[in-house]
Amino acid sequence: MAHLDPGHWQDRLDTLAREHAVPGAAFGVLRLGRGDVPDDRLELATGVLHLGTGVTATPDSLFQVGSVTKVWTTTLLMTLVDEGRVDLDVPVREVLPEFRVADATASAGITPRHLLAHTSGFDGDTFVDTGRGDDCLQRYVDGLVVNRQLFPPGAAWSYNNAGFAVAGRIAEHLLGTTWDAALRERVVEPLGLAATVTLPEEVLRFRAALGHVEDDDGRWQPAPVWALPRSCGPAGMIISSVSDQLAFAAAHLRGGILGDGSRAAMTALQVQRVDHAGAEDANAWGLGWALGVWGGTPVHGHNGNTIGQSAYLRLFPDIGLATVLLTNGGAPDLLHQDLLTELLADVGVGAPDTLEPGTGPAPVADQMIGTWEQASARLEVRREGVGLVLRHTDTSPFAEIGPDAVWERPLAPYADSVALVQRPRSTSWSALTHETTPAGLELLHLGWRAHTRVVAPIGQGSSGRDAPP
């Protein structure tokens, strides 16, 4: 790759953001130097931070990074691993005695490793607002006693926001402070970061983005809510700049904050996802990091989505490259895909494989038919003609903010027990995969989340769901 040309990439960012209706974006690239060659760095912005005010996006603007926060929370917890204060394989209750979910056996067996690798098994897409007080995480974790178990700890994989609230609470308990303060003292300040915060009142000192959501007429409007509840902090509440995100990436590429063993542990394979590679550039998981392969080159990273804002962080250790894209609406997945495809082509790295509907006779398995649920979504699969149709209902507290609370799409056959679906405003295919665990539990995975079958209408003499053994 030649020296990063700011003029060229500014033009591409401007053009692609308009093409994908992204109101505002900031894009950063870091290529580590070698020997006497210094680092090559690119920080750009385009568009506006708020369609209502017209304030211009700049490279130093702050955006919500959403679930990219999970990697920061993992880094925070790993500092305690380095100090011998956290053992990833000792039950959480050894450190946090009050930790409880609905299943007593699972409560006693869930470990920090389960939390950081999304294998704890409890239903974790719960976004309960427990207030703005410094006790919000403690109150949130106390409330998990009602969260049901999707599968036994370690038996399968399902993305779990609440697990990172528990991880953040472990840090709070051991350090005697809030997650916000612990993150600042152990990660933000040691890296010398000046534009990374976690609380809305801290954002007032900066130029900051507002998210945008699509109205019923297909127009992008300023979001009616700015941020998630404070209790979601360790899972998704960092607000940061491109520069600070690249500095964080550099600390994971070349060292800083964590010992080499902990950095390596974060990218070591913990679980292979059950659905097929290609729907996204991540089909496995480490600790905090999503793991994948982009055109044959290993990559780890994370996406983040809040209310109308999306973030993408990618690290390519073999070529010493990191990228970050921060956005506030539109079709950011497509913008990210286009930017990275062009950027990586310059170093001979092809695009990741994509999922495409099968051309052979492999039928979509009938075992998918039925209703499936997890805390924030309901899936209904029915037969229609010779094929199947998926109806997806968002049951989260944020369902009414956007236009896609309910959507239906036909399923395309791919392989035995695997179908493909195109979500709204997406040109790529996602895998819908039926899994039966060794213990006989049925799960239906859409993207990063597992759903259990509803066996009877809720409230009619049944829990309404398969129960794990």
Q: Is residue 280 part of a domain?
A: yes
* Domain-located, residue 463: no
Helix orientation angle between 161-175 and 69-82, rounded to the nearest 10 degrees: 40
The H-or-E segment that residue 90 falls in is none
Say if residue 280's pLDDT is above 60: no
A 10 A CB-CB count for 103 gives 20
Cite the beta strand spans of 208-296 per DSSP E: 212-214, 220-222, 239-240, 271-272, 284-285, 290-294
Question: Residues 342, 200: one domain?
Answer: yes
Contact 453, 442 (CB under 8 A): yes
Pair (227, 349) in one structural domain = yes
Residues 215 and 313 in one domain: yes
For residue 228, is it within any domain?
A: yes
- pLDDT for position 233: 97
pLDDT in tens, 195-231: 999 999 999 999 999 999 988 888 999 999 999 999 9
Q: Per the residue annotation, which of 61, 67, 107, 231 is the catalytic one?
A: 67
First vs last C-alpha separation in the chain = 53
Enclosing domain of residue 382: 366-453
- Per residue in 152-176, pLDDT (tens digit) is 999 999 999 999 999 999 999 999 9
Q: Within 10 Å of residue 452's Cβ, how many Cβ atoms?
A: 24
Do 373 and 300 fall into the same domain?
Answer: no
Question: Distance between CA 426 and CA 429 in Å, rounded?
Answer: 8
Query: Is residue 428 a contact partner of residue 331, using CB atoms and an 8 Å limit?
Result: no
Task: Show which of 286, 319, 353 is a domain's final residue.
Answer: 353
Same domain, 52 and 138: yes
| Average pLDDT of the segment spanning 131-154 | 97
314 lies in some domain: yes
- Clarify whether residues 321 and 413 are in a common domain: no
CA–CA separation, 210 and 229 (whole Å): 16
Checking if the pLDDT of 462 tops 50, the result is no
CATH number, position 334: 3.40.710.10
Query: Are 311 and 427 in a shared domain?
Result: no
Same domain (yes/no): 391, 342: no
Number of folded domains that form the chain: 2
Whether residue 250 lies inside any domain: the answer is yes
Tell me, yes or no, whether 123 and 253 share the same domain. yes
User: What's the pLDDT score for residue 276?
Assistant: 56
Buried-state track 311-349, b at ≥16 Cβ within 10 A, e below 16: bbbbbbbeebbbbbbbbbbbbbbbbbbbbbeebbeeeeb
Strand pairing category for 284-285 and 271-272: antiparallel
Residue 442 and residue 344 share a domain? no
Output the domain CATH number for residue 427: 2.40.128.50
Contact yes or no for 52/222 (Cβ under 8 A): yes
Q: Is residue 466 part of a domain?
A: no
Q: In this structure, is residue 379 part of a structural domain?
A: yes
Residues 199 and 339 in one domain: yes
**122 found inside a domain:** yes
Residue 275 sits in the same domain as residue 404: no
* Overall average pLDDT of the 235-259 stretch: 97
Q: Is 67 a catalytic residue?
A: yes
